[in-house]
Each structure stands twice: as structure tokens, then as C-alpha cells.
Amino acid sequence: MHEAAVAQSLLTTILAEAKKQNATPVAAKISCGVLNAINDEILCFAFEAVAADTCCEGLKLEVEHKPLRGQCKSCDELFEFEICQPACSKCGSENFKLMADESLVLETIEFEVE
């Protein structure tokens, strides 16, 4: 269950930023690619567990999954890859390369100033 390690890393980063801002974090948003093996429910549960008794207790964690993208080798179009329609959305070519999946990124932290 690597969600626990991700949750701990997020907590460490959010706590450090909260200290710098001298504010209480109330919400955070992370993003990752669809192939990233993150289970949203398990991650949120793990985050709640590691955040207990810290200023992050009760923080709302949002997870956004970014779509997988492809690049057409015929017309050079960048498009969102659909597993049920593996073709370029512009020209219909099935000659494309899959782009790298998005990394896990802490996008935003929302603070409540005391």
C-alpha cells in the first residue's frame, strides 16, 4: 500500500508550507496520471490517519486524474488517448505514440489565515 507513503510525503510538504505561511491548511489538491496506481479512497484514508493530531487534521484532499495523451505520427496532433478509440481525434490515424503519464504533483494548498 504505497498510498501510506504518498500520504506521509504530502503531510510533510503541507506541514512545512503551513509553517512558512503561518496558517492552517484546510484543503489541498493533487494531480496524477490515470496510469498512476493511486487509489483515491485509500490515499484519503491514509492521509486522514497520518494527519491526525496535526494542523492538517480535517484537511480536504482532492485528487485529479489527468488523462493519458497520445501524439499522432501522421498529423502531429496531441490528443487525449481513449482506450475504446485508439486513434487520433483529428485525422483518425492509428499511428501514434503514447506520451508519458503525468507524475503525482501537489497542485495547490488552501490556507485559513489565523
Report the relative pairing of strands 96-98 and 69-72 from DSSP bridges: antiparallel
Angle separating helix axes 3-21 and 40-51, nearest 10 degrees: 50
User: Whole-angstrom Cα distance, residue 28 to residue 56?
Assistant: 10
- Domain map (residue ranges) of the chain: 3-67+101-113
Cell 491548511 appears where? Answer: 25
Q: What angle do CA 71, 76, 78 make, to 5 degrees?
A: 40
Consecutive sets of 10 residues in the chain, 114 residues long: mean pLDDT of each? 90 97 96 89 96 97 94 96 91 95 96 83
What is the pLDDT at residue 37?
78
CATH 3.20.20.140 fits 3-67+101-113, yes or no: no
Instruction: Check residue 96 and give left, alpha or beta (phi > 0: left; psi -120 to 50: alpha).
Output: beta
Query: What is the CA 68 to chain-centroid distance, rounded?
Result: 13
CB proximity list for 55: less than 8 A, separation 6 or greater: 15, 18, 24, 25
pLDDT tens sequence across 3-36: 999 999 999 999 999 999 999 999 999 999 988 8
Model pTM?
Answer: 0.84
What is the pLDDT at residue 70?
96
